[in-house]
Chain A
Amino acid sequence: MNGPAAHVAPPVAPSPLRAVVDLLASMKLTIVLLLAFGVLTFAGTLAQQHQGLFVVQRDYFESFWVVWDTQMPLPLGRDLTLKVPLLGGYSILLALFVNLVVGGVVRHRWNWRNAGILVAHLGIGLLLVAGWVKLHYSYAGHVALYEGKSTRTMVSFHDFELALLRRDGDRVVERTVPATAFEVAARAPRSVTLDAPDLPFQVVVSGWLENCRPQQKGPMFATDMPVVEDGQGAWFLQSVPPEKERERNTAGCYVTVIEKVGRKEHKAVLHGLDLRPFAEERSPFRFEVEGTTWGLDLRRVVWDLPFAVRLDRFEKSDHPGTMMARDFSSWVTVFDGAAEGRPVHIYMNHPLRSHEHVFFQTNWGPQPGSSMKGPPWWSVFEVAKNPSDAWPKYASYVILLGLLVHFIAKLIRFLNSSTRRATLPEMS
């Protein structure tokens, strides 16, 4: 990419297809997209002050377009409040990727002079592909374990699901629906009805709340929310304003199970509180239909791991005389076939990578300053399943190599060039 020539279309009258390809290959398009990306990044960074990381990530960087609500304080004490439509990160990066492939690689002159640039572009391309794969094919959650405890599942940070459980001896047979399906039920009187031909009942979900807490209704006060009585008491959900950090929200909803035969109804309040690592069991709303025991559980999305993990030991040390953690690490045993398992040490910046899953030491408890004191400790791992886990690392090496080759070659050419010698001042 040494000069304008690389991107200039030939002078002959172009066919429409040709014109499109030319546009896609254009370096000017690159610049426009980069500037749009810069504005979006700036806007998204500022927006995090008001909207929190999760929402901004979803609305700005993983979307096709977004309306930026500036809310920018100006030096003179007034806020700049504008609504600016912007291209979202998904569109910009997709377009940049096409532009990069067509203009930066396919249409680029393949010669030694451009080798560095070509390699760097390939690296950037790999990075973008890695991001795309991560967005569409990865999921992440966490595992929290007390010492001595083991698990076979990981739990989402943000997302909820409704699980329908049928008791089958020791086992359960479960069906799930992601909670995104219930967002339409956030406004009364809307509801979502769940049905399947082989089920003897329908489940109607209503009164969806993104963040709420359950309450027992006493005789002395009234509430606007629906109240469910079940013989043990009267219960309702109290809405709580959603938190900026989305993982702090606990969703809740009302469910009505309607039997297909006889139209008998079972009503309940569900709340997605997750007490891991204190409570490992889930307690579903239980109901009986035709002699079978069923349960409904609103929970953070659960994924099964391809192996079991047991936390053997958690250790942390503080900087002496302070409560500032110097390091913390976990010794776990991974059971993925062999009966006795294999021991693994997970610590800061040294995750466990196994069966496409990566375990990162991310936290522990009880934290200093909280009302509980350790030991016993629990350890928290963030768990990610990401097929493109290591690609960015390779991409960074490729890009570095490309840029070094290019700019060092340029520097050498410059040092040997006649221009430099011509411009050197004379000194005595």
Chain B
Amino acid sequence: MRGLAKWWLWSFAAVLAAQQPAPEAAAPEVVRRTHAWSPATVEALATLPVQEGGRVKPLSAHAAATLHLVHGRRDMKLDTDGDGKDDLTLTPTEWLLDVWFFPEVAAHYPLFRIENVEVLDAIGIPHEGGQRFRLEYVSFAAMAAPGRVGVPGQKLIELAHQYSRKQPLDRSPVESHLVNSAQQVNTYYDLHYQMEVLRSTFPIEGEPLRAALGEVESLDFAALLERLPAFRTLLRENSDKLEDPAWAGAARLGAALQQLSGSDAGAALFPPTGSVGDSEVWLGLGGVLDLGVRGDIAAEKLGMVRHLQRAIVATEQGPRERELVQFRDAVVARATARGEYAKVELENTYLTKSWHYQALHWFLLAIVVVGVGWLAPRKRWLWALGLVATAIPLGMLTWDIVLRCLIRERPPIVNLHDTFLFIAAVGVAAAIVGEVIVRRRFVIALAPIFGALLIALARAFEVEDGKDQLAPLIAVLDTNYYLATHVTSINMGYAAGMFGALVGTLWLLLQAFGIARHDQAFHKAVVRACYGIVAFGLIFAVFGTIYGGVWANDSWGRFWGWDPKENGALLICIAQVALLHARWCGWVKDLGFCVGAALTGIVVAFSWFHVNLLGIGLHSYGFASSTKSALFWYYGIQLALVAVGWFGTVMRRVGAAAAVPAAVPAGD
């Protein structure tokens, strides 16, 4: 039904937008935004609880996730004065309020990122040759305005329907882009029309209908909801008369209500009146109508609808915000009574504070502090300062992870996004401990780089993935025991593998470029650290891998199925076991060990991410393409560094041996 309504409404949207002349080329659109939300209102609405994706969350989180999804960014930058430069930045909450309350204005915001000129051609959006003249972001209005080949949005969805029948791996980049963009347009479409019913009026035609519902020409949505009991009675008592022409108005209203009721898209805004035990499912406007068609609506819910409707139809910003905040307060009161509000504020705070983002900055600062420490190697206080500078963001990052655990009531890792943060924290923590033991400064030098890099990757991944990273779990994952044991353990293995690769690479480069080459003890310490990290990682990788099998045996009936993810974990174990055995039997010495440890990083990356991309195409285009290219970049860089390190080390040794035949090389 929703799909259908959408389909119909497209041409409706086209009519709306037809009043705007279609641009000849995608010239910079000047956004006429005449209103502004007061900070207090935005703050209050940020903690409006809504139900979406199977959980109750703050509006700020819903807005951020939706903006991520449709826009690929966390904020909306606007050019309001037409000078070609962005001069206003909206938070996700402000943007969502704009879409709900000023859909015609928000429809002109530069929204959908189109990266390929062929996509614009395919859907008939004009552009200037092949130049990237602000082509990246296409507004919803442009999607809905009639173009060269019909309405671009409609064309887009038609094409996407066509290509979505292909396996994701078989789609061309343009086809994938079209499918992806269609999903974004669809999502936005729901948002654009979510409040439409509150702007509508329902004609009251025919004498019998007027007699029952009041002598009015038409009713707005809230008023109609109030009169639904009377309408129900009317229909029930006169079911045999509905064919009478005098009753056509009643029949038509009934049919219209039937079509509207239950058709909801987007977040559900109205909590059920009873307790969570009675009903968990929140309602949208269609759901409320459906409730009213079947039985009576509680006065409380009617009140919420009335506030929201008044806010929607208000002509001035003051009354609009007042009603909106009253709506918010009513929902918060109900959600609090239902025990669903406790985590909403926590999550909003989590999002606002964004501890891991702050940690990223502090890690960058720590890189500088540690770097300064290197200039004065004998200053103990500088060394200590480096440790502290790294420990501060580690604390922030850990707090961020703890908050995520609290919000979800889950162990630290339940999805891929979590792995970045967790691995960053474990790697940095282990490095601080290692530094205290080894006191060689190089471990602490790598720690903030490692931390900053992984947090940056986490943020990139979040945008790429475009999903709610705090979403509830599918049934098979509903086990805190295995999430805490297997998942945590295997990720500690990943962390150690990556950090080991970093240390191994460091040693190779130190050797190759002859840095601190007279300090043999220092070089030895680096190798030792590398060995320790690999051994540490092996314990967790092996236990995590086998315990994953134990979990699989409990939930799927087989311990080991040679599934890509299992194989990836196995490859890490094999690489580390082989490396350690090679070291023990003397096949490799320092050079070989560090080369092996550095290459293990590639195995870890393959297991951590790449196996997910091989698969049976479940993954969105964005994820697949850019994560894959990021992975290949990493493989290339890591291989190049190993090659340079190995070649440089060997050449240096050959040179040293030639110069001083008696000299004993440091490694093998």
**Is there a direct interface between A and B, measured as CB atoms under 8 Å apart in the complex?**
yes
Interface residues of chain A, those whose CB is within 8 Å of chain B, are 1-4, 6-7, 27-28, 30-31, 34-35, 37-38, 41-42, 44-46, 48-49, 53, 56-57, 60-61, 75, 127, 130-131, 134, 140, 318-322, 324-328, 348-351, 358, 360, 362, 382-384, 389, 392-393, 395-396, 399-400, 403-404, 407, 410-411, 414-415, 420, 422-428
Contact A326 B437 (CB under 8 A): no
Q: Which residue of B lies closest to A347 (CB)?
A: B475
List chain B residues, Cβ under 8 A from A320: 51, 54-55, 280-282
CB distance from B479 to the nearest CB of A (A): 5
Pick the residue among A349, A400, A414, A422 that contacts B479 (CB under 8 A). A349
List chain B residues, Cβ under 8 A from A349: 476, 478-479, 482, 551, 554-555
List chain A residues, Cβ under 8 A from B119: none
Q: Is B148 an interface residue (CB 8 A)?
A: no
Contact B587 A399 (CB under 8 A): no
Contact B556 A360 (CB under 8 A): yes
Q: Which residue of A lies closest to B283 (CB)?
A: A321
List chain B residues, Cβ under 8 A from A395: 546
List chain B residues, Cβ under 8 A from A41: 567, 570-571, 574
Q: List 30 A-B contacts (CB under 8 A).
A: A4-B584, A27-B581, A27-B584, A31-B587, A34-B574, A38-B575, A41-B567, A57-B561, A60-B562, A127-B546, A321-B53, A325-B475, A326-B54, A348-B479, A349-B476, A349-B479, A358-B557, A360-B555, A360-B557, A392-B546, A393-B553, A396-B546, A399-B546, A410-B535, A411-B532, A415-B437, A420-B437, A425-B440, A427-B378, A427-B379
List chain A residues, Cβ under 8 A from B574: 34-35, 37-38, 41
CB distance from A327 to the nearest CB of B (A): 5
Pick the residue among A53, A350, A427 that contacts B561 (CB under 8 A). A53
Pick the residue among A57, A327, A420 that contacts B475 (CB under 8 A). A327
CB distance from A239 to the nearest CB of B (A): 22
Q: Is B216 an interface residue (CB 8 A)?
A: no
CB distance from B96 to the nearest CB of A (A): 18
CA distance A2 to B584 in the complex (A): 6
Pick the residue among B378, B478, B584, B586 that contacts A327 (CB under 8 A). B478
Contact B439 A425 (CB under 8 A): yes
Interface secondary structure of B, over-half rule: helix
Interface secondary structure of A, over-half rule: helix
CA distance A42 to B562 in the complex (A): 11
- With A362-B556, A384-B558, A426-B378 given, is the CB distance from A45 to B567 under 8 Å? yes
Q: Chain B contact residues (Cβ within 8 angstroms of A): what range? A: 35 or more
For chain B, residues 467 to 494, give those with C-beta under 8 angstroms from any C-beta of chain A. 472, 474-476, 478-479, 482
List chain B residues, Cβ under 8 A from A140: 557-558
- With A27-B584, A400-B543, A403-B539 given, is the CB distance from A56 to B474 under 8 Å? no
Q: Which residue of B lies closest to A393 (CB)?
A: B550
Q: Which residue of B lies closest to A140 (CB)?
A: B557
CA distance A27 to B577 in the complex (A): 11
Interface residues of chain B, those whose CB is within 8 Å of chain A, are 51-55, 268, 280-282, 377-380, 383, 437-441, 472, 474-476, 478-479, 482, 521-522, 524-525, 528, 532, 535-536, 538-539, 542-543, 546-547, 549-551, 553-564, 567-568, 570-571, 574-575, 577-578, 581-582, 584-587, 611, 614-615, 632
List chain A residues, Cβ under 8 A from B378: 425-428
Contact A423 B585 (CB under 8 A): no
Q: Which 8 A-B pairs have the closest CB atoms?
A: A319-B54, A320-B280, A427-B380, A27-B585, A396-B546, A34-B578, A423-B521, A322-B54
CB distance from A89 to the nearest CB of B (A): 8
CB distance from B378 to the nearest CB of A (A): 6
CB distance from A88 to the nearest CB of B (A): 12
List chain B residues, Cβ under 8 A from A384: 557-558
Contact B475 A407 (CB under 8 A): no
Contact B557 A134 (CB under 8 A): no
CB distance from A396 to the nearest CB of B (A): 4
CA distance A395 to B525 in the complex (A): 34
Contact B472 A326 (CB under 8 A): yes
List chain A residues, Cβ under 8 A from B584: 1-4, 6, 27
CB distance from B610 to the nearest CB of A (A): 9
List chain B residues, Cβ under 8 A from A407: 535-536, 539
Of B380, B550, B557, B567, most buried by chain A (CB within 10 Å of CB) is B557
List chain A residues, Cβ under 8 A from B568: 45
List chain A residues, Cβ under 8 A from B538: 403
List chain A residues, Cβ under 8 A from B578: 30-31, 34-35, 38
List chain B residues, Cβ under 8 A from A414: 528, 532
Of A134, A322, A424, A425, most buried by chain B (CB within 10 Å of CB) is A425
List chain B residues, Cβ under 8 A from A134: 559
Q: Which residue of A lies closest to B549 (CB)?
A: A392
Of A60, A320, A395, A403, most buried by chain B (CB within 10 Å of CB) is A320
Pick the residue among B282, B559, B564, B585 that contacts A392 (CB under 8 A). B559
- With A322-B53, A400-B539, A403-B538 given, is the CB distance from A362 to B280 under 8 Å? no
List chain A residues, Cβ under 8 A from B585: 4, 7, 27-28, 31
Contact A324 B474 (CB under 8 A): yes
Of B378, B475, B532, most buried by chain A (CB within 10 Å of CB) is B475
Contact B546 A319 (CB under 8 A): no
CA distance A69 to B553 in the complex (A): 31
- With A4-B585, A319-B54, A320-B281 given, is the CB distance from A348 to B575 under 8 Å? no
List chain A residues, Cβ under 8 A from B582: 31
List chain B residues, Cβ under 8 A from A427: 378-380, 383, 439
Pick the residue among B55, B280, B554, B570 that contacts A350 (CB under 8 A). B554
- With A322-B54, A349-B482, A392-B550 given, is the CB distance from A130 to B559 under 8 Å? yes
